[in-house]
């Protein structure tokens, strides 16, 4: 079997998605999950872009030892120095150098002629090679570059020491057949191509990132750059879960090829990235969407009951999707809870299990059947990396059709009880305003969404919101069977996140 290298760029290109900023602790948590998932390369950041990014790549390099840890750099010495500094503790470091090769980028952005670009590309790869043996080079906007010039650049950077040449469809312009033919042409026209791995990096502006990546693999690419849930610049990057499951499901078309992804961990990784970035996964999203394995029509349900493969090409459990099976209830003990959490791949410390257990019991008093998704939501709520300085003590709401909503909220701040009262446009607004009075912080709610975690009137409601305060924008979540409480929890979580920055 030949391996397809999975290069995950959730923490670099994924984080470039507007509004998806992650703090270093969150990035580290994602990096661990990516490592558990079995990705081969983690692009941990763009170290020159900020001090925080450099430190975060450094932290990941120290803590995550399985996959190659990669840092991005422009073809500029200072960038490569920063990447080297960030990666100096990595067991397997990689510097990823990029330089545009399309006419449009060379003329308008870089204001450089072809010869200068060629010289810079070669010099940069040689410079980066002094720091580490594993160098990747990307001719940015490759899919819109003149082919003859692109071939020359690729040949030169391989001679200079690049072990991977990545072909980006930077603006998501390519069509599958065309992109496949570009990879084929590179294989046929670059004399030393056998000395490097061909990689792809496709963006989703025309919704073709996954199709283009798969076509590239069929034509000889052996590394794919992708992100969890397909997050990334503009319309995003190629989605990892879709590529991996396409290769696995259609072995007939990808014979002899495999990835090393432990697919049973996909759903967990998807949830985590969604939770930490605040990007809700669309219900109809392939592989990880809430409806991806739901059969609604009677004909389909009947077919699946008779023989799953009539309407299911992937078993939900193959991607770790546990669905809505009833698992636990009021009479389930701590042991049953711990066992189920283990089956869901959560490794909790005894203290974390205590906290989850308390929330579980409280939920079981209100809700007859506890589903896996309820458990996941509680665990995510209770295992936050951030130490909460603000804690919810209690709240009381007065609301109705013909009265002005009024909220009385009490929080604990470093063990001191603080309370405030406020009216608002609705009960949620009144609570938020009361919290603002307590914290004394001026903030702007930029996004607010609510989703039912499972079906039924007693389902947990999960609130995701985006809050701007003290110069930061953070995303956070909260869940409860009471949607006002979910909102209050999410709002307080956001304050705790801001305090941690
Ligand atoms: O889209 C792109 O071209 C990139 C490069 C830095 C590889 O993200
Ligand atoms: Zn990109």
Place 327 in a pLDDT band, splitting at 50, 70 and 90: low
Q: What are phi and psi of 6, to 5 degrees?
A: -100, 115
Q: Which of 173-177, 272-276, 363-367 has the lowest mean pLDDT?
A: 363-367
Q: What is the pLDDT of residue 333?
A: 83
352 and 451 share one domain: no
User: How far apart are the CA of 361 and the centre of ligand 1, in A?
Assistant: 48
Q: What is the pLDDT of residue 375?
A: 85
Q: What is the pLDDT of residue 384?
A: 65
The answer to whether position 288 is within a domain reads no
The predicted model gives 445-470 an average pLDDT of 85
**Ligand 1 atom 1: residue of nearest CA:** 170
Note the pLDDT tens digit of each residue in 8-35: 999 999 998 877 778 888 899 999 999 9
Of 278 and 77, the one with more pLDDT:
77
**Nearest-10 Cα torsion for 457, 463, 464, 468:** 160
- Reported residue count of the chain is 501
Check: CB of residue 105 under 8 Å from CB of residue 115: no
What residues does 326 pair with on adjacent strands?
Answer: 371
Residue 440 gets the label, from left (phi > 0), alpha (psi -120 to 50) or beta, of left
Q: Which of 151-155, 157-161, 356-360 has the lowest mean pLDDT?
A: 356-360
Place 406 in a pLDDT band, splitting at 50, 70 and 90: very high
348 and 300 share one domain: no
Q: What is the pLDDT of residue 323?
A: 61
Q: Which of 84-98, 135-149, 288-302, 426-440 has the lowest mean pLDDT?
A: 288-302
Check: CB of residue 200 under 8 Å from CB of residue 167: yes
CATH number reported for the structural domain that contains residue 266 in this entry: 3.20.20.70
Nearest alpha-carbon partner for 203 in 265, 257, 138: 138
Q: What percent of the chain has pLDDT over 70?
A: 98
378 and 456 share one domain: no
Q: What is the pLDDT of residue 452?
A: 83
149 and 88 share one domain: yes
User: How far apart are the CA of 61 and the centre of ligand 1, in A?
Assistant: 21
User: How far apart are the CA of 12 and the centre of ligand 1, in A?
Assistant: 10
Q: What is the pLDDT of residue 265?
A: 94
The whole-angstrom separation of Cα 427 and Cα 435 is 12
* Residue 227 DSSP code: B
Which-ligand-closest: CA of 233?
Answer: 2
350 and 402 share one domain: no
Angle at which helices 266-277 and 24-37 cross, to 10°: 170
Place 326 in a pLDDT band, splitting at 50, 70 and 90: low
Q: Which residues, 6+ apart, have CB-to-CB distance to 481 below 8 Å?
A: 363, 366, 367, 458, 459, 460, 461
Q: What is the pLDDT of residue 348?
A: 87
Check: CB of residue 39 under 8 Å from CB of residue 7: yes
Residue list, CB under 5 A from ion ligand 2: 13
269 and 343 share one domain: no
**Ligand 1 atom 5: residue of nearest CA:** 140
32 and 158 share one domain: yes
Place 346 in a pLDDT band, splitting at 50, 70 and 90: confident
The parent domain of residue 194 ranges over 2-277
Domain boundary among 246, 277, 308: 277
For the chain, the average pLDDT equals 92
Of 474 and 39, the one with more pLDDT:
39
Nearest alpha-carbon partner for 287 in 311, 263, 306: 263
Q: What is the pLDDT of residue 408?
A: 97
The answer to whether position 283 is within a domain reads no
The answer to whether position 289 is within a domain reads no
C-alpha pair distances (Å), 254 with each of 2, 4, 83, 245, 313: 10, 10, 35, 11, 16
135 and 159 share one domain: yes
The predicted model gives 464-492 an average pLDDT of 88
Q: Which two tokens stand for residue 180?
A: 């496949």
Q: Which residues, 6+ apart, have CB-to-CB distance to 71 below 8 Å?
A: 43, 44, 45, 46, 47, 57, 82, 83, 86, 87, 93, 94, 95, 96
The predicted model gives 289-310 an average pLDDT of 80
Question: CB-hemisphere CA count at 13 Å for 41?
Answer: 25
Element (H, E) at 169: strand 164-169
The whole-angstrom separation of Cα 246 and Cα 286 is 11
Q: Which residues, 6+ apart, have CB-to-CB distance to 2 below 8 Å?
A: 222, 256, 257, 258
Check: CB of residue 311 under 8 Å from CB of residue 299: no
The answer to whether position 199 is within a domain reads yes
What residues does 417 pair with on adjacent strands?
Answer: 412
How many Å from the N-terminal Cα to the C-terminal Cα in the chain?
46
315 and 334 share one domain: no
The whole-angstrom separation of Cα 54 and Cα 52 is 5
Report which ligand 1 atom has the smallest distance to the Cα of 168.
3
**Total structural domains in the chain?**
4
The answer to whether position 372 is within a domain reads yes
40 and 160 share one domain: yes
The predicted model gives 401-422 an average pLDDT of 94
The whole-angstrom separation of Cα 166 and Cα 276 is 28
Q: What is the pLDDT of residue 325?
A: 55
Q: Which of 172-181, 242-251, 330-339 has the lowest mean pLDDT?
A: 330-339
The whole-angstrom separation of Cα 218 and Cα 235 is 24
CATH number reported for the structural domain that contains residue 473 in this entry: 3.30.160.270
Report which ligand 1 atom has the smallest distance to the Cα of 140.
3
The answer to whether position 127 is within a domain reads yes
Report which ligand 1 atom has the smallest distance to the Cα of 98.
6
The answer to whether position 485 is within a domain reads yes
The predicted model gives 459-474 an average pLDDT of 86
**Ligand 1 atom 6: residue of nearest CA:** 98
Q: What is the pLDDT of residue 363?
A: 87
> If 0-12 CB within 10 Å is exposed, 13-18 middle and 19+ buried, where does residue 143 land?
buried
Note the pLDDT tens digit of each residue in 213-239: 999 999 999 999 999 999 999 999 999
35 and 128 share one domain: yes
Beta strands at 135-140 and 164-169: parallel, antiparallel or unpaired: parallel
Q: Which of 172-186, 302-316, 352-366 has the lowest mean pLDDT?
A: 302-316
Report which ligand 1 atom has the smallest distance to the Cα of 138.
7
* Residue 109 DSSP code: I
The predicted model gives 334-342 an average pLDDT of 85
Which residues does ligand 1 sit against, CB inside 6 Å?
13, 72, 98, 138, 140, 166, 168, 170, 201, 203
The whole-angstrom separation of Cα 168 and Cα 95 is 16
Check: CB of residue 142 under 8 Å from CB of residue 182: yes
Note the pLDDT tens digit of each residue in 368-401: 778 877 888 788 778 766 678 899 999 999 999 9
The answer to whether position 286 is within a domain reads no
Q: What is the pLDDT of residue 387?
A: 74
Question: CB-hemisphere CA count at 13 Å for 385?
Answer: 15
272 and 177 share one domain: yes
Check: CB of residue 60 under 8 Å from CB of residue 100: no
Residue 304: alpha-carbon gap to chain centroid: 31
The whole-angstrom separation of Cα 441 and Cα 153 is 53
Query: Is the predicted pLDDT of residue 132 greater than 60, yes or no?
Result: yes
């Amino acid at each position: 079997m030949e391996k397809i290298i999975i290069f995950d760029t959730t923490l670099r290109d994924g984080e470039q998605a507007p509004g998806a900023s992650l703090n270093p602790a969150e990035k580290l948590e994602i990096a661990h999950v990516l490592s558990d998932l079995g990705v081969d390369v983690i692009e941990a950041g763009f170290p020159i872009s900020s001090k925080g990014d450099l430190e975060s790549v450094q932290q990941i390099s120290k803590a995550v030892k399985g996959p190659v840890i990669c840092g991005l750099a422009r073809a500029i010495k200072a960038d490569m120095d920063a990447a080297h500094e960030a990666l100096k503790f990595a067991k397997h470091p990689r510097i990823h150098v990029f330089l545009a090769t399309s006419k449009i980028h060379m003329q308008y952005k870089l204001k450089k002629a072809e010869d200068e670009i060629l010289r810079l590309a070669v010099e940069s790869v040689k410079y980066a090679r002094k720091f580490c043996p594993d160098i990747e080079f990307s001719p940015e906007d490759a899919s819109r570059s003149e082919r003859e010039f692109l071939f020359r650049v690729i040949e030169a950077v391989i001679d200079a020491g690049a072990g991977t040449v990545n072909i980006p469809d930077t603006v998501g312009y390519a069509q599958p057949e065309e992109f496949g033919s570009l990879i084929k042409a590179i294989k046929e026209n670059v004399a030393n191509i056998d000395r490097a791995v061909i990689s792809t990096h496709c963006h989703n502006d025309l919704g073709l990132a996954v199709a283009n990546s798969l076509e590239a693999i069929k034509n000889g690419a052996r590394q794919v750059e992708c992100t969890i849930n397909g997050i990334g610049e503009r319309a995003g990057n190629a989605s990892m879960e879709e590529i991996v499951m396409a290769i696995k499901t259609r072995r007939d078309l990808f014979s002899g090829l495999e990835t090393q992804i432990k697919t049973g961990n996909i759903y967990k990784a998807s949830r985590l990235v969604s939770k930490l970035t605040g990007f809700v996964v669309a219900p109809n999203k392939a592989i990880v969407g809430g409806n991806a394995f739901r059969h609604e029509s009677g004909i389909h349900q009947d077919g699946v009951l008779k023989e799953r493969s009539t309407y299911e090409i992937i078993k939900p459990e193959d991607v770790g999707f546990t669905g809505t099976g009833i698992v636990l209830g009021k009479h389930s003990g701590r042991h049953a809870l711990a066992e189920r959490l283990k089956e869901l791949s959560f490794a909790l410390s005894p203290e974390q299990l205590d906290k989850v257990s308390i929330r579980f019991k409280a939920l079981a008093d209100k809700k007859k059947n506890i589903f896996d998704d309820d458990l996941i939501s509680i665990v995510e709520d209770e295992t936050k990396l951030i130490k909460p300085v603000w804690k919810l003590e209690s709240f009381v709401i007065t609301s109705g059709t013909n009265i002005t909503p009024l909220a009385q909220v009490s929080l604990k701040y470093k063990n001191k009880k603080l309370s405030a009262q406020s009216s608002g446009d609705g009960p949620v607004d009144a609570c938020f305003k009361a919290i603002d009075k307590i914290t004394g912080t001026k903030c702007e709610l930029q996004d607010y969404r609510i989703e039912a975690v499972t079906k039924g009137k007693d389902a947990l409601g999960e609130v995701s919101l985006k809050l701007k305060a003290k110069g930061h924008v953070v995303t956070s979540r909260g869940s409860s069977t009471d949607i006002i409480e979910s909102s209050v929890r999410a709002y307080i979580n956001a304050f705790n996140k801001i305090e941690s920055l």
